[in-house]
C-alpha cells in the first residue's frame, strides 16, 4: 500500500472537495508519480491558481503556492527562472488555465519553460457554482447556460501543442494508472509539459446534465476516451463525442531557462577573457 | 529595536560624477541593492529601465524576462521573490492598473517586491510621453481590500538612485511591496550625479527563520510585526496563499485570527513609521507659506520659493520622499507655524486631499493642479504663493 500520508498535510483535512470529485484521484496519481521519481520534497514546488482544483497545493507537504486566479503559471515562471533546480508543478483547472489564464498558458508553452502543468478539466467552474467554462461542451447545461452552452469549446491540448509545448498528454480519472505515467513523463521532460486530466464534477456538471452518479461519470470517461492510434481508424462521425488519451505530442525544443543559462555562461566567459 | 532602511552609511563616500537619467539611475541602484530578477512589459516612459537590465542582469548571473503583460510581470516577480531572490518590475499607468491584483497578493502574502511606476498622463492610455502625478492615490488604494503599502517619491536623479536602494531595503525589512513613484521628467531628465560608493551602502536582507523547519511559522507575529521569511528550496516547506490565513499560512475563517493577522499587516508599518517616512524640509524654519510638493513639481516649487524669498515672502517647502505612509505628523507639526499650505501637483488634488486631512481646517490649504501634460513653471507656483502671502 502506497504511503500517501507522508506526503500530506493531514492537519488540513478533510478535503474541501465534494464526494465523487475527480480532484482527489489526480492528487493521488501526482503523489505516486513524484514518489516514483524519488524527488526530494524540499526541491518540489507546487503552484496553483484559484478554483476547486487549485486547492490541491495546500494539502501537499512541498513548497506550495496558492496564487491569484489564472496566474499560477506567471508565479511558477518566476520561481523556475529564479531557482531552476526546483521541480515546479502547476495544478490548475479549465477555467483557471484556459479562460482567465489563457494568455499565460499560451506564452508558458511558447517559452517551453520547464514546468509540469496538471490541468484538471472538469468542464465547468465548480467552486463558484457550476457556470460554463471554455471547455463546457457545446449544448451542455450549466448554471449560466440554462438552455445549453451555445459557444464553441477549446481543445486545450491542441492549444498547447500549437503554442510549442514539449510534452502534451491527456487522460482521465478513470485511467488513473495512465495518469501516473504521464505525470512522471511530464516531470522528466525538460520543457513545458501539459497533462490534461478529464475529471468528473458530479455536483455541478453532473447534476446540471443528468450525468448520473460519480461512478457513472467515470464510466462515461472510459466509454468516450480513445487512443490516438484507434482514433486514426475512426470516421469523423464516430469521433464526434470522443476524445483522445495518451501522449499527444512529444517534441524536443530548446527550454527557456536552459537557454538563458547558456546566455549567462557565454557572457561570463566573454567577460573573463576580456 | 532600531532599524534603518536608509541606504547611505557615509554620504561623503561618492563615485566620480557622471551624467545619468532617472531611469538609468533606478536600474543601477536596483543592481547595487542586490536585485537579480526583473520581469516586465514594455511601456513608455519606463522602458529604459528594462532595456538596461536586459543588458546587465545576465552578465551578473541574474535573470531578465519579458513577460506577456503586466499581470504576468507581477506574478513572476512574486514567484522569484519566494525563492529568496530580490525582484522588481517597472511600468507606467496602464500597466500599473493591470498589476493591482497581484500587488494585493504581495501585500497579503507578505512577499517583498519593488514596483516602479513612472507616472504619465491618464486616465486610460492618456499621455504616453508627458509627465503627470495622477497615480498617487492608486499607489495607495489601487488594489482591493484594506492593505498597507509603502510608496516613495524621489525628485532628482541622485535621489532616484537612493530611493531605489531604499525601496528594496524597505520591502525586505517589512515584507511588503514597495512602489517607487517616478514621473516622466524624473525618469528622463539627465543630471550630473556622484553616486554613493557601493561599499558605503546599507543593504537590508529579509529576516530569516532562527528555528528549525518543523517549528517555522511563516506568518507569526513578532516584536516588529514582521515574520521571518524562508526561501523556497531550503527545507522550510510551507504554504503561501492570498486567502486570509493563520500564522501557518493556511486559510482560516476564524474571525479572531483574521482580525489579528490583518491588523498585524498594518502594525508592522506603524511600528516602522519613523524609519519609513522621510521628508525633506527646505527653508521652512521661518516660513509663513508652506509648499507641499514632490517629484518634478517640487523642482519647480524650489525655484518658486527662492523667487518668493527675493520678493520678501517667507515661503518654504515640505517635500515627502515617502508618500505612503503619508507624512501627516510632519504636516501637522509645521501647520502650527504656517499661515497657509500650497499643494502644487500634476493631478487635481490627490496629495492635497491628504494634506487637508492632516491640517483639519487649522489653516487654508490651496490646491494647485495641472493635468495638461506640462510641468509647472516656477512662476505658476510663485503666483499662487503671492496670492496666499
Q: Are residues B189 and B289 in the same domain?
A: no
Q: Which of B99, B97, B248, B92 is nearest to B184 (CA)?
A: B92
Question: How far apart are alpha carbons B331 and B328 in whole angstroms?
Answer: 5
- Within 8 A of A67 by CB-CB distance, chain B residues are 75, 78, 105, 242
pLDDT tens-place string over residues B4-21: 999 999 999 999 999 999
Q: Are residues B382 and B313 in the same domain?
A: yes
| Rounded percentage of chain B residues whose pLDDT exceeds 90 | 98
Q: Could you say which of B219, B251, B276 is where a domain stops?
A: B276
pLDDT tens-place string over residues B166-202: 999 999 999 999 999 999 999 999 999 999 999 999 9
The 3-class SS string of chain A reads: CCCCHHHECHHHCCCCCCCCCCHHHHHHHHHHHHHHCCCCHHHEEEEECCCCHHHHHHHECCEEEECCCCCHHHHHHHHHHHCCCCEEEEEEEHHHHHHHCHHHHHHHHHHCCCCEEEEEECCCECCCCCECCCCCCCCCCECCECCCCCCCCCCHHHHHHHHCCCEEEEEECCCHHHHHHHHHHHHHCCCCEEEEEECCCHHHHHHHCCCCCHHHHHHHHHHHEECHHHHHCCCHHHHCCCEECEEEEECCCCCHHHHHHHHHHHHHHHHHHC
Q: Are residues B80 and B4 in the same domain?
A: yes
Q: What is the CATH number of the domain that holds B230?
A: 3.40.50.970
Cis peptide before B45 (omega within 30 of 0): yes
Q: What is chain A's mean pLDDT, rounded?
A: 97
Q: Are residues B229 and B342 in the same domain?
A: no
Q: Are residues B29 and B48 in the same domain?
A: yes
Q: Are residues B93 and B228 in the same domain?
A: yes
Q: Flag if A71 and B63 touch (Cβ within 8 Å).
A: no
In chain A, the domains with their CATH numbers are: 18-273 (3.40.50.970)
Q: Which domain holds residue B236?
A: 1-276
A11 pLDDT higher than 80: yes
Q: Are residues B44 and B122 in the same domain?
A: yes
Question: Whole-structure pTM over 0.90, yes or no?
Answer: yes
Interface of A with B in 40-59 (CB under 8 A): 41-43, 45, 47, 57-58
| Rounded percentage of chain A residues whose pLDDT exceeds 70 | 100
pLDDT tens-place string over residues B201-239: 999 999 999 999 999 999 999 999 999 999 999 999 999
Q: Are residues B178 and B293 in the same domain?
A: no
Q: Which of B69, B76, B83 sits opposite A83 (nearest CB)?
A: B83
Strand pairing category for B315-320 and B279-282: antiparallel
Q: Could you say which of B259, B276, B293 is where a domain stops?
A: B276
Q: Pick from A47, A54, A65, A266 the residue to mutate for testing the B interface (most B CBs within 10 Å).
A: A65
Q: Are residues B216 and B258 in the same domain?
A: yes
Confidence of residue B2 (pLDDT cuts 50, 70, 90): low
pLDDT tens-place string over residues A234-256: 999 999 889 999 999 999 999 99
How far are the Cα atoms of A67, A115, A184, B153 from residue A87, in angstroms, in the given order? 17, 8, 12, 39
Q: What residues does B201 pair with on adjacent strands?
A: B8
Q: Could you say which of B231, B249, B276 is where a domain stops?
A: B276
B278 pLDDT higher than 90: yes
Confidence of residue B1 (pLDDT cuts 50, 70, 90): very low
Query: Chain B interface residues facing chain A, Cβ-Cβ under 8 Å?
Result: 36-37, 39, 58-59, 61, 63, 65, 67-69, 71-85, 87, 101-102, 105, 232-235, 237-243, 250-251
B46 pLDDT higher than 70: yes
Q: Are residues B190 and B304 in the same domain?
A: no
B291 pLDDT higher than 50: yes
Q: Are residues B236 and B316 in the same domain?
A: no
Our count of domains for chain B comes to: 2
CB of A264 within 8 Å of any CB in chain B?
yes
Q: What is the CATH number of the domain that holds B285?
A: 3.40.50.920
Question: How far apart are alpha carbons B241 and B254 in whole angstroms?
Answer: 16
Place of cell 524536443: A252
Q: Are residues B65 and B178 in the same domain?
A: yes
Helix orientation angle between A256-273 and A72-82, rounded to the nearest 10 degrees:
30
pLDDT tens-place string over residues B125-143: 999 889 999 999 999 999 9
Q: Which of B306, B334, B326, B328 is nearest to B140 (CA)?
A: B326
Amino acid at each position: 500500500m502506497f504511503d500517501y500520508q507522508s506526503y500530506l498535510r493531514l492537519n488540513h483535512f478533510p478535503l474541501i472537495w465534494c464526494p465523487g470529485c475527480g480532484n482527489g484521484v489526480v492528487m493521488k496519481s501526482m503523489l505516486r508519480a513524484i514518489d516514483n521519481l524519488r524527488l526530494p520534497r524540499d526541491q518540489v514546488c507546487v503552484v496553483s491558481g484559484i478554483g476547486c482544483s487549485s486547492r490541491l497545493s495546500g494539502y501537499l507537504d512541498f513548497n506550495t503556492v496558492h496564487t491569484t486566479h489564472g496566474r499560477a503559471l506567471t508565479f511558477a515562471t518566476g520561481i523556475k527562472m529564479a531557482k531552476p533546480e526546483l521541480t515546479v508543478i502547476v495544478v490548475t483547472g479549465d477555467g483557471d488555465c484556459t479562460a482567465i489564464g489563457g494568455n499565460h498558458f499560451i506564452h508558458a508553452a511558447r517559452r517551453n519553460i520547464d514546468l509540469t502543468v496538471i490541468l484538471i478539466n472538469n468542464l465547468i467552474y465548480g467552486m463558484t457554482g457550476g457556470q460554463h467554462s471554455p471547455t463546457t461542451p457545446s449544448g451542455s447545461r450549466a448554471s449560466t447556460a440554462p438552455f445549453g452552452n451555445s459557444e464553441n469549446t477549446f481543445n486545450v491540448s491542441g492549444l498547447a501543442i500549437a503554442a510549442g509545448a514539449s510534452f502534451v498528454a491527456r487522460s482521465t480519472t478513470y485511467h488513473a494508472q495512465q495518469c501516473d505515467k504521464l505525470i512522471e513523463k511530464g516531470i522528466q521532460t525538460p520543457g513545458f509539459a501539459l497533462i490534461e486530466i478529464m475529471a468528473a464534477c458530479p455536483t455541478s456538471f453532473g447534476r446540471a446534465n443528468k450525468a448520473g452518479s460519480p461512478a457513472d461519470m467515470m464510466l462515461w470517461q472510459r466509454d468516450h476516451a480513445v487512443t490516438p492510434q484507434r482514433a486514426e481508424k475512426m470516421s469523423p462521425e464516430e469521433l464526434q463525442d470522443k476524445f483522445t488519451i495518451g501522449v499527444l505530442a512529444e517534441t524536443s525544443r530548446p527550454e527557456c531557462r536552459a537557454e538563458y543559462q547558456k546566455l549567462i555562461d557565454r557572457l561570463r566567459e566573454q567577460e573573463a577573457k576580456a | 529595536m532600531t532599524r534603518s532602511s536608509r541606504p547611505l552609511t557615509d554620504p561623503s563616500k561618492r563615485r566620480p560624477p557622471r551624467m545619468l537619467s532617472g531611469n538609468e539611475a533606478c536600474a543601477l541602484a536596483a543592481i547595487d541593492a542586490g536585485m537579480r530578477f526583473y520581469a516586465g512589459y514594455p511601456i513608455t516612459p519606463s522602458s529604459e529601465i528594462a532595456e538596461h537590465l536586459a543588458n546587465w542582469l545576465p552578465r551578473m548571473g541574474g535573470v531578465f524576462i519579458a513577460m506577456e503583460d503586466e499581470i504576468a510581470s507581477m506574478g513572476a516577480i512574486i514567484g522569484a521573490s519566494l525563492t529568496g531572490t530580490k525582484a522588481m518590475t517597472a511600468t507606467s499607468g496602464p500597466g500599473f492598473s493591470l498589476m493591482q491584483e497581484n500587488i494585493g497578493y504581495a501585500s497579503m502574502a507578505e512577499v517583498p517586491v519593488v514596483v516602479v511606476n513612472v507616472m504619465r498622463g491618464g486616465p486610460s492610455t492618456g499621455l504616453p510621453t508627458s509627465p503627470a502625478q495622477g497615480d498617487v492615490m492608486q499607489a495607495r488604494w489601487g488594489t482591493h481590500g484594506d492593505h498597507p503599502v509603502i510608496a516613495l517619491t524621489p525628485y532628482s536623479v541622485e535621489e532616484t538612485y537612493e530611493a531605489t536602494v531604499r525601496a528594496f531595503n524597505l520591502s525586505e525589512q517589512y515584507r511588503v511591496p514597495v512602489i517607487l513613484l517616478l514621473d516622466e521628467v524624473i525618469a528622463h531628465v539627465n543630471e550630473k550625479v556622484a553616486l554613493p560608493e557601493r561599499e558605503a551602502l546599507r543593504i537590508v536582507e529579509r529576516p530569516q527563520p532562527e528555528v528549525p523547519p518543523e517549528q517555522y511559522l511563516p506568518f507569526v507575529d513578532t516584536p516588529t510585526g514582521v515574520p521571518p521569511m524562508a526561501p523556497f528550496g531550503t527545507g522550510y516547506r510551507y504554504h503561501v496563499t492570498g486567502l486570509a490565513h493563520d500564522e501557518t499560512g493556511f486559510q482560516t475563517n476564524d474571525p479572531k485570527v483574521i482580525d489579528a493577522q490583518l491588523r498585524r499587516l498594518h502594525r508592522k508599518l506603524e511600528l516602522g513609521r519613523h524609519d519609513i517616512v522621510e521628508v525633506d524640509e527646505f527653508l521652512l524654519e521661518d516660513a509663513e507659506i508652506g509648499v507641499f510638493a514632490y517629484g518634478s513639481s517640487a523642482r519647480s516649487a524650489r525655484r518658486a520659493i527662492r523667487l518668493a524669498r527675493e520678493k520678501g515672502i517667507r515661503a518654504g517647502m515640505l517635500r515627502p520622499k515617502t508618500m505612503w505612509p503619508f507624512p501627516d505628523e510632519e504636516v501637522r507639526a509645521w501647520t502650527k507655524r504656517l499661515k497657509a499650505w500650497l499643494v502644487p501637483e500634476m493631478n487635481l488634488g490627490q496629495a492635497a486631499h491628504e494634506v487637508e486631512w492632516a491640517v483639519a481646517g487649522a489653516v487654508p490649504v490651496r490646491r494647485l493642479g495641472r493635468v495638461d501634460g506640462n510641468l509647472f513653471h516656477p512662476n505658476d507656483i510663485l503666483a499662487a504663493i503671492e496670492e496666499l502671502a
